[in-house]
Amino acid sequence: MENKYTRGSDQGNSQQDDQPTQTEELVPKRGATSVAWTWFGYKKTDVHQTTVVCKVCRLPVPTTDSNTTNLFYHLRKNHEKEYRESQRAKTAKAASSDGVSAQNKLQTQTLQQAFTRGTPYSHSSRRWKEITSAVAKHICKDMVPIYTVEKRGFCELVQTLDPRYEMPSRIHITKVVLPDLYDACRAKVEAEIHKGMFYATTTDMWWSRTTHPYMSLTAHFINHDWNLCSRCLQTSYFPEDHTGEMLAKGLRESLQLWGLQEDRLVCVTTDNATNNILALQLNEMTRLQCFGHRLHLAIGDSSHNEPKLIGVCKKIVAAFSNSWKRRRELAKAQADQNPPLPPHQLITETPTRWGSMQAMVERVIEQEKALSQVLRADKKTRHLVPTWQDMDVLESMNKALSPLKEFTDALSGELYPSVSYLKPILHLFNNQILKHQDGDTELTTTIKEGILKYLNEKYDDQTTQDLLDIASLVDPRFKTTYIKQERVDYIKTRAAAELQKLVAEQTEAVPLSAPSVTAVGQDEQEEVPAKKKKKSLSSYFKTSAKPSQMAPLSNRESIEKELSLYLLMEAGSDTEPLEWWKRNEVHFPLVAKLARKYLCIPATSSPSERAFSASGNIVSCQRSALKPARVDQLVFLALNL
């Protein structure tokens, strides 16, 4: 009888005989291309190469013909070292094949293609003009020197992006490209302004690093799509004496140079310089005082009782600004506090920067512990350590002034109406922000009362009140809410009279607002396919409102009726006024003209200040030799492109 154990042993010996010995040489696969076959082969007796054998462990590996997945899997599971080598060889082979294919592709490119790639663009070609225009816009928008086009790094960058482009010289950029770009941009800005019916301006004076005086002029208007637009018209060299008479002449000449009609000028926003006030009086132009300057002066006037303490704050800031060692020790002291103080630097007061004094005081209060630690360690600065009485006074000042900083920033915007905010903000100051509260110290109360008294006096004149009340009236969020009750009827009558005057001038206003006629025609064309839809209630209002545009109202009672209907229509406090008017202009076409006229007025002279900031970045220490005409050109392009 056959033993089963003997039979199993005979089978195992048979399998071992099939495996190659460690010394038996394996033959490679015929036509192999994969790097995996470096570690695999076939027995010499396997003529048809059906059983793959691993060269490392001499075990057979099941796999189909030309499929190396199982081979790599075998290496990864059983031979980690050989698997890593196979992956490196695989990567190297792929990189080599890519290089060879790219080289073959380059070799197969035609002679005409090679010639084209190496031929520079013609200066009259469209591509060369596009790149040159982009380079010029980079110079203007980013306010970099014109000689950037001759810098090696910039030229290499452009050459890398497009090898066929040849950079023009600095002379060509200066005398050809920039003037052409300025003319095109000026024509575009001029067309935009003339399409509007009304505009407002800001103006101010500025001295460059080279002590050259400049006068800025910015224009603000609401276009046909009810977008508030702000444009810098010029930063002109003004070498004459800065008297009111000369400024009046210069301002009038600037408006004439741009072809702007003075009767369409609603208001000019300026600071409180005496020569600016006199210039606008001589030109008989309506003036709005800059709210930022007024608030800055009000804060300074109400805080003049504590000049010694403000001086101490300035000395503390100067002690750290002039010593890098103290700044280093301040950083360590900030981290040593429990809890650690924010790693903030001290703020220096700038007399011409709104709110800088309050920012300096607030930062000293925040860093008081760290400042005292550093100052007390140095015998030269121990006298600057603030006492608890000093800190009480500073905290009282900060409590009164800190709520005001947000209003200055909010009113300095250029892309949304700001003048209509003045009446609500003054009302808020009087009834909430600057009103006496429980817990206010005597100094806090004194500062609040001083600011309120100053602002109320400066905004109490009849002309300013009428301007602010009308602006508030045409803002759908406010209307008559912040107008004194005894003045509501007067403002309504004044608004109706101005509307009647606008109706009478409608024939003359048609050329200035010609795009509105085209827009109405487009609306009529767009509404043709909409007739298939079910009419909504608002569509009846649109239908009844359009004839009023074709036949302008001239009856005073009809004008007052439209104004009354407008005042009855409610709008939420978070409504965007220009978006509201864009939707409802068809219902109140006459009041909408009044809104276009007054909502474009900026509440501050920040646009002129921004023009001077751009001028300062352009007329830098390295570019102090720029001619005034070039400065005007570069500032205009930087702010209008």
d(CA 226, CA 229): 9
DSSP state at residue 338? S
- The mean pLDDT value for 218-234 works out to 93
- Global pTM? 0.72
Residue 79 has phi, psi (to 5 degrees) of -135, 85
Reported as a pLDDT band with limits 50, 70 and 90, residue 545 is: very low
Task: Tell me the C-alpha to C-alpha distance, in Å, between residue 255 and each of 248, 261, 287, 512, 597.
Answer: 11, 7, 16, 16, 18
pLDDT in the model for residue 21 = 64
For 241-290, how does the pLDDT look when each residue is reduced to its tens digit (9 = 90+)?
Answer: 889 999 999 999 999 999 999 989 999 999 888 999 999 999 999 999 99
d(CA 614, CA 220): 18
User: In 3-state terms, the chain is what percent helix, strand and coil (to 5)?
Assistant: 60, 5, 30
pLDDT in the model for residue 553 = 44
3-state secondary structure of 288: strand
pLDDT in the model for residue 174 = 92
d(CA 142, CA 159): 20
* CA pseudo-torsion sign 152, 158, 161, 163: negative
> What is the number of alpha carbons within 13 Å of residue 572 lying toward its C-beta?
4
Cα angle 554, 559, 564 (rounded to 5 degrees) comes to: 170
For 124-166, how does the pLDDT look when each residue is reduced to its tens digit (9 = 90+)?
Answer: 999 999 999 999 999 999 999 999 999 999 999 999 999 999 9
Helix or strand (DSSP H, E) at 556: helix 556-568
For 430-478, how does the pLDDT look when each residue is reduced to its tens digit (9 = 90+)?
Answer: 998 888 888 888 888 888 888 899 999 988 889 999 999 999 999 999 9
Full set of structural domains in the chain with CATH: 14-106 (no CATH), 182-290+605-640 (3.30.420.40), 291-460 (no CATH), 463-524+537-604 (no CATH)
Angle, helices 356-366 vs 388-401, to 10°: value is 130
Query: What residues are paired with 214 via a beta bridge?
Result: 206, 237
> Which carries the bigger pLDDT value, residue 520 or residue 330?
330
- The mean pLDDT value for 207-221 works out to 89
Name the residue among 540, 549, 562, 476 with its Cα closest to residue 519: 549
Residues in the chain: 641
- Mention every residue, 6+ apart, whose C-beta is less than 8 A from residue 640: 185, 189, 231, 232
Cα angle 531, 536, 538 (rounded to 5 degrees) comes to: 110
Amino acid letter for position 572: G
Cα angle 400, 406, 412 (rounded to 5 degrees) comes to: 130
